[in-house]
Chains A and B, each alone.
Chain A
Amino acid sequence: MNGLTLGGIYALIALGYTMVYGILKFINFAHGDILMVGAYIGLFTYNGLRGNAPLGVWTVTSFFIAMLVAMFSCGVLGMVIERVAYKPLRHAARLAPLLSAIGVSFILSNSAAWAFGTQSRKFDYPFDNTPINMHGVIITPHQIMILAVAAIMMIGLAIFVDKTRMGKAMRATSLDQSTAMLMGINVDRVISLTFAVGSALAATGGILISLDFKAYPSMGMMTGLKAFVAAVVGGIGNIEGAMLGGIILGLLETFGVAVLGIPTGMKDTIAFGVLILILLIKPEGILGHAEKEKV
């Protein structure tokens, strides 16, 4: 169960990587740090709204309000970052946007360390978190919530991409940018929107993960790295792949520690090992399809 919930969170974050990669063929290094900003915004909003209220309907409501606020502000942040740091480089050399993204990531995480301090902050559970025993499977309400939120987000995204006009435009842009432009699609807007949606998902992931692991300014890096691995495992640029990859990685990590006895200090090494292995065996990922590089 732990693995599944962790996987759900990874999947949410991985979606952002995958969506941006699908359209721009570029890895948004700052994605992990957007997640961190989302976690902090959520934390502050939640604490501010909640005050000293006892656990109850209001705490749960304020938690979800905080989540919406974080999603919205991160969406805007993602769009701003895209406009300022990536858009001018869309036709530059291959390394340029990557370097710029690393710069953005550094600015975000260190500004957060400066503004909020380097200590980690605890996110109080908005509800009673005593484990429930369900036919021998022990599950906490928090895990149920994570799975529910992750599922809702993913289904919502799937519907958005498959059924709406904007989703269609998004798919068209990812297939072929210039043709999409000729068909009257406003590619700039699609890219902006992709960043907004991806960042909003990252904010949710950030809040969910900091319920278990606290929020701190450098949290984005490792979490982002793992979510990226999840995206690669599933096949980068592929939305279903990101969901699958996230869950696989979450399960592997939990089982690696619990069953294979890998020391917890080396837990982060698992994701990295998986990445190298996938890159060696099937670089296009489980659900991806190989693309031949053309001249």
Chain B
Amino acid sequence: MLNFFLLILIYTCIYSLMAIGQNVISGYTGMLSMCQAGFFAIGSYATAILATKCGWSFWATLPVSIALSALFGFLIGLPTLRLKGDYLAIATLGFGEIVRNVLNNWDSLTNGPMGIQDVPMATIFGKKINPYSKVGFLFLCIVFVVIAYFLFQRLARSRMGRALEAIREDEIAAASTGINVTKYKVVSFMLGAGVAGVAGSLQAVFNLSVTPGTYTFMVSVMVLCMIVLGGMGNFLAAILGSFIIQLISYFPQLTGLSSVIPPQFKQILFGLILVVMMIWRPQGIMGRREHLYGADKQGGKK
């Protein structure tokens, strides 16, 4: 039972990273991207391939996986981001599927549907972090989430964070105040992709194997659900949402009812969450954190 709870926490951390990325893209910049699964997959495969074929350590593969995910974020972002939100959603959805398609078919590099097995474990100071003894791995994940949280929290309060929020509120107005809309959109997309790449690397050293079947459209929808449930534009809420969604998706196993509850139960529930939240509480459980610049110094609140 405890072991199971640790598993949920580890997945919460891995998905939190993706949700934080999605939050930058959707919550701050207001773009609906549907391909966190694609970036997640790129990160995982980068780590898995470099570790098994070139013998790199986890830490050496990490920057490559970030850079690669961000690069793909840039490539997919540049043509599509100049367009309206609805197009972006479909184009990114297509991109996520294409990534999986390529991973499934590029046998020489990715070993096709069989995936890559025996990914070496991550090490710290020569000590292996064994994912089977979950506690150690959980700590590693928590460190990553905390770092990501503070980095992105800083970012949100910076000049760039304000620019992103301005773009979300009104693109034309933002452009007319001198914000380079395309540049900021692409950068925010790359950041979101990069942090999903980190999540992918962690996933690779946690499962010690990668298969294309892990990175379905379902993952992207789960991540989307997390930030919708928690509250868009709030990084803490993204982590909370990720925890709730993980709890829901392991609910059948947790209560020992997995033989009674059909396997589609959680997907249907995720769909319902999206619809219901949009109608009754579009700001999510925690809501958006408003940055009132200067006001908090005087202790004043809106």
Give the interface of A toward B (CB within 8 A): 26-27, 29, 84-85, 88-89, 92-100, 102-108, 110-111, 113-114, 221-222, 225, 228, 232, 263, 265-266, 268-269, 271-272, 275-276, 279-280, 283, 293, 295
Which residues of chain A come closer than 8 Å to B89, judged between CB atoms?
27, 29, 98, 102
- Within the complex, the shortest CB–CB distance from B102 to chain A, in Å, comes to 8
CA distance A279 to B91 in the complex (A): 10
Task: Report the bound CA distance from A293 to B170 in whole Å.
Answer: 12
**When the two chains form the complex, which single residue of B93, B95, B278 contacts A99, counting CB atoms closer than 8 Å?**
B278
- A-B pairs, 7 with minimum CB distance: A103-B274, A106-B271, A107-B271, A110-B267, A103-B275, A114-B264, A110-B264
* Contact indicator B268/A96 (Cβ below 8 Å): no
Tell me the complex Cα distance, A45–B56, Å: 58
Number of interface residues of B (CB under 8 A): 43
Contacts of A272 in B (CB 8 A): 91, 94-95, 97-98
CA A99 – CA B158 in complex, angstroms? 28
12 A-B pairs with CB atoms under 8 Å apart are A98-B32, A99-B224, A99-B228, A99-B278, A100-B279, A105-B271, A106-B271, A110-B268, A263-B105, A272-B95, A276-B91, A295-B172
B221 lies within 8 A of chain A by Cβ: yes
Chain A, interface SS category: helix
Please determine whether A225 and B32 come into contact, CB atoms closer than 8 angstroms.
no
Point out the residues of chain A lying under 8 angstroms from B172, CB to CB: 293, 295
User: Smallest distance from the beta carbon of A40 to chain B beta carbons, Å?
Assistant: 15
Question: Is the CB–CB distance between B278 and A100 below 8 Å?
Answer: yes
* A99-B274, A110-B271 known; A269 vs B98 contact (CB < 8 Å): yes
B262-A114 in contact (CB<8A):
yes
Q: Contacts of B217 on A, CB cut-off 8 Å?
A: 221
- A97 cross-chain contacts in B, Cβ below 8 A: 278
Residues of A within 8 A of B90 (CB): 27, 225, 228, 275
Instruction: Name A81's closest neighbour in chain B (CB-CB).
Output: B275
* A238 vs B284: C-alpha distance when bound (angstroms): 36
Identify which of A26, A106, A263 gathers the most chain B CB atoms within 10 Å of its CB: A106
**Bound-state Cα–Cα, A269 to B157, Å:** 39
- A276 with B79, Cβ < 8 A, contacts A100-B275, A106-B274, A111-B268 known: yes
B211-225 interface bits toward A, Cβ cutoff 8 Å, 1 = contact, 0 = none: 000000100010010
Residues on the A chain within 8 Å of B292, using CB: none
Within 8 Å CB of B279, what residues of A? Answer: 85, 88-89, 100
Contact B282 A96 (CB under 8 A): yes
- Residues in chain B within 8 A of chain A (CB atoms): 26, 30, 32, 34, 79-80, 83, 85-87, 89-91, 93-95, 97-98, 101, 104-105, 170, 172-173, 217, 221, 224, 228, 262-265, 267-268, 270-275, 278-279, 282
Q: A26-B86, A100-B279, A114-B264 are in contact. Are A222 and B97 (CB under 8 A)?
A: yes
Given the known interface contacts A26-B86, A95-B32, A268-B101, the answer about A107 and B268 at a Cβ–Cβ threshold of 8 Å is: yes
Beyond A103-B275, A276-B91, A283-B83, 8 additional contacts (C-beta under 8 Å) are A84-B275, A89-B278, A114-B263, A222-B97, A265-B101, A266-B105, A268-B97, A279-B79
Whether the Cβ atoms of B32 and A269 lie closer than 8 Å is: no
Contacts of A110 in B (CB 8 A): 264, 267-268, 271
Q: Do B271 and A95 touch across chains, with their CB atoms under 8 A apart?
A: no
- A276 and B80: CB pair below 8 A? yes
- For the complex formed, measure the closest distance between the CB of B21 and the CB atoms of chain A, giving whole angstroms: 17
Closest B residue, CB atoms, query A113: B264
User: Nearest B residue to A17 by beta-carbon distance?
Assistant: B90
Chain B residues with CB below 8 A from A265, complex form: 101, 104-105
Q: Are B268 and A93 in contact (CB under 8 A)?
A: no
Closest to A97 in B: B278
| B97 with A106: CB separation less than 8 A | no
Least Cβ–Cβ distance between A37 and chain B, in angstroms = 14
Residues of B within 8 A of A293 (CB): 172
